[in-house]
């Protein structure tokens, strides 16, 4: 029989399956954190699982990440409580609702807010280590093996006005950055050793297998150069990441994300999971949203600087999360911005020590002139900022008093944050619409039988670039990956 070429955008019809090469209750596409957690939970509930991974090993984009989770509520995780942060569920929930933006999913947020502590314990039970210590200095992720960090805009306006601030970033224990690798090692150990779940590597998921009603029954994959047909007795779980690696999809769905210069990705965020879901009628939502950042901290003293655009205007409170600032930078005229510092706080960003210092001068007017700004604007901006900062307030942009210090000690400098000077790092946030159970739904909210999605293949808790906070993606992918596995097993 001649088999037509399969593509993610068209399901293989059940009637066209030439033979079955295997089957399991759950077929899981992608072996990052979402796939691992879906498998663990499904297996716990007695379902057989088979994981397909395009790469030669597990990890996906999770292994490239900082290994940071977003946890809180219920009076605080043990590490929050140990360090004096009694994090109320409603504060945690309110922050996540704000962070989710105008399309926030209240049901999903509520569920996670109420169950985050139990989920933290579950991860530890799988062998994922958290040291339990607090790292108070503002940073992107700990360079130490500490656990608890401020990883969002919690203490910054406007979030701090509607949700009592607490640090909620929980980093997996590892000395240095990139704890995602440790995280995945531990989860893979749980999947393979504890649960004995099979994974096939170097295997590309080509297309869903669906009947004429778009009920999903399996998956076509390619491995060793041939196409194989797997039956899903209970369902397929798409955990294949986002689409930051697919320029054509970015152009169509999130053209501003083409400006991301560094993909926070294992390299296979090609959108195939999302396209497979759409091929059987699944809705893909908030596809324009993405996370992008130029992580200017550490050192935290740089928060005492001020960002300005080419008009010499400030545009954000600099104590906001670096990813929120990154989104605001993108929409400034010409996409340019500079961080202004004085001599007392001048340091280069640890993560980008080669940053361009675009202007240096003994007076702000020199900086203004060197940057080619309209005469008087930058000087007015700095003078106004300094006058208020000296009085301990920032009535215009509302940066917290902790970070207010007049920029008066020359020489002064301006560091470049434009696209060309410092390409943004980021990933996509849009994906398949799902119920909290992980079930993929169509644009009218009807469930696509037999199909689940989790991680960045789904549109989850993080769905608004301006609100993204470090740890939200792993928390979402792991928790809702588990719920998908659990629901599927009970199907």
Looking at 145-153, 260-268, 274-282, 474-482, which segment touches a second copy (CB under 8 A)?
Answer: 274-282
Interface with a second copy (CB under 8 A), residue from 3, 9, 75, 86: 9
Interface with a second copy (CB under 8 A), residue from 370, 376, 391, 409: 376
Q: Is 255 in the site for a second copy (CB under 8 A)?
A: yes
How many Cα atoms sit within 13 Å of 152 on the Cβ side?
34
Interface with a second copy (CB under 8 A), residue from 3, 118, 258, 391: 258
Q: Is 377 in the site for a second copy (CB under 8 A)?
A: yes
Interface with a second copy (CB under 8 A), residue from 50, 109, 220, 287: 287
Q: Is 194 in the site for a second copy (CB under 8 A)?
A: no
Q: Considering beta carbons, is residue 174 or 272 the nearer one to a second copy?
A: 272
Looking at 113-121, 226-234, 295-303, 305-313, which segment touches a second copy (CB under 8 A)?
Answer: 305-313
Q: Is 283 in the site for a second copy (CB under 8 A)?
A: yes
Contact between residue 35 and residue 26 where contact means Cβ atoms under 8 Å apart: no
Q: What is the nearest approach in angstroms of a second copy to the Cβ of residue 138?
A: 23
Q: What is the DSSP code string of 447-474?
A: EEEEEEE-GGGB--S---TTT--TTHHH
Contact between residue 129 and residue 172 where contact means Cβ atoms under 8 Å apart: yes
Q: 451 φ, ψ to 5°? A: -125, 130
Q: Is 176 in the site for a second copy (CB under 8 A)?
A: no
3-state DSSP call for residue 485? Answer: helix
| Tokens 């130490």, residue located | 144
Taking CB under 8 A as the criterion, which residues in 406-435 touch a second copy?
433
How remote is the C-alpha of 289 from its chain's centroid? Answer: 11
Q: Is 442 in the site for a second copy (CB under 8 A)?
A: yes
Interface with a second copy (CB under 8 A), residue from 252, 362, 363, 392: 252
Residue 383 to residue 376: CA distance in whole angstroms: 10
Beta strand spans in 96-210 (E): 148-149, 169-171, 198-200, 204-210
Q: Is 271 in the site for a second copy (CB under 8 A)?
A: yes
Q: Considering beta carbons, is residue 209 or 351 the nearer one to a second copy?
A: 209
Q: Is 253 in the site for a second copy (CB under 8 A)?
A: yes
Residues 6+ apart with CB under 8 A from 270: 241, 243, 245, 246, 249
Q: Considering beta carbons, is residue 10 or 83 the nearer one to a second copy?
A: 10
Q: Considering beta carbons, is residue 83 or 369 the nearer one to a second copy?
A: 369
Residue 477 to residue 99: CA distance in whole angstroms: 16
Would strands 204-210 and 216-223 be described as parallel, antiparallel, or unpaired?
antiparallel
Query: What Cα–Cα distance (Å) separates residue 168 from each residue in 69, 85, 137, 190, 229?
Result: 8, 9, 14, 25, 43
Q: What is the nearest approach in angstroms of a second copy to the Cβ of residue 467?
A: 12
Tell which residue, 273, 334, 339, 272, has the closest CA to residue 302.
339
Q: Which residues bind a second copy (CB under 8 A)?
A: 7-10, 13, 15, 101-103, 212-214, 248-249, 251-253, 255-256, 258, 271, 274-275, 278-279, 281, 283-289, 311-313, 331, 374-377, 380, 384, 395-397, 433, 442-446
């Amino acid at each position: 029989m001649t088999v037509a070429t399969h593509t993610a955008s068209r399901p293989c019809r059940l009637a066209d399956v030439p033979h079955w090469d295997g089957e399991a209750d759950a077929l899981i596409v992608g072996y990052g954190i979402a796939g691992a957690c879906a498998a663990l939970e499904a297996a716990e509930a007695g379902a057989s699982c088979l994981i397909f991974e395009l790469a030669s090993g597990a990890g996906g984009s999770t292994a490239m990440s900082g290994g940071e989770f977003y946890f809180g509520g219920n009076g605080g995780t043990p590490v929050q409580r140990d360090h004096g942060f009694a994090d109320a569920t409603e504060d945690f929930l309110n922050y996540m609702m704000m962070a989710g933006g105008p399309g926030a999913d209240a049901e999903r947020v509520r569920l996670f807010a109420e169950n985050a502590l139990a989920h933290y314990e579950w991860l530890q039970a799988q062998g994922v280590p958290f040291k339990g210590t607090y790292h108070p200095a503002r940073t992107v992720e700990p360079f130490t093996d500490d656990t608890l960090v401020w990883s969002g805009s919690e203490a910054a306006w406007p979030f701090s006005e509607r949700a009592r601030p607490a640090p909620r970033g929980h980093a997996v224990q590892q000395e240095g950055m990139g704890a995602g690798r440790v995280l995945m090692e531990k989860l893979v150990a749980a999947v393979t050793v504890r649960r004995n779940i099979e994974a096939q590597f170097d295997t590309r998921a080509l297309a869903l297998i669906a009947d004429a009603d778009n009920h999903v029954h399996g998956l076509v994959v390619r491995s060793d150069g041939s196409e194989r047909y797997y039956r899903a007795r209970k369902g397929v779980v798409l955990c294949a990441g986002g689409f930051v690696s697919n320029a054509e999809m970015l152009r169509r769905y999130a053209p501003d994300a083409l400006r991301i210069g560094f993909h926070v990705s294992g390299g296979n965020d090609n959108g195939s999971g999302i396209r497979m879901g759409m091929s059987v009628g699944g809705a893909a939502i908030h596809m324009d949203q993405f996370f992008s950042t130029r992580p200017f901290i550490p050192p935290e003293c740089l928060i005492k600087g001020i960002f300005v655009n080419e008009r010499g205007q400030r545009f954000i409170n600099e104590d906001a999360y670096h990813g929120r600032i990154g989104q605001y930078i993108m929409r400034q005229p010409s996409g340019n911005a500079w961080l202004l510092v004085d001599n007392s706080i001048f340091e280069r960003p640890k993560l980008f020590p080669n940053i361009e210092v675009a202007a240096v001068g003994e007076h702000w007017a020199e900086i203004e002139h060197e940057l080619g700004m309209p005469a008087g604007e930058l000087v007015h901006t700095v003078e106004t900022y300094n006058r208020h900062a000296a009085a301990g307030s920032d009535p215009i942009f509302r940066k917290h008093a902790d970070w207010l210090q007049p920029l008066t000690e020359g020489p002064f400098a301006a560091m470049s944050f434009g696209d060309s000077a410092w390409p943004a790092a980021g990933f996509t946030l849009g994906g398949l619409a799902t119920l909290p159970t992980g079930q993929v739904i169509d644009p009218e909210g009807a469930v696509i039988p037999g199909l689940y999605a989790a991680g960045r293949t789904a549109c989850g808790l993080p769905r608004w670039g301006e609100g993204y906070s470090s740890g939200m993606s792993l928390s979402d992918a792991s928790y809702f990956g588990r719920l998908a596995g659990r629901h599927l097993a009970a199907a």
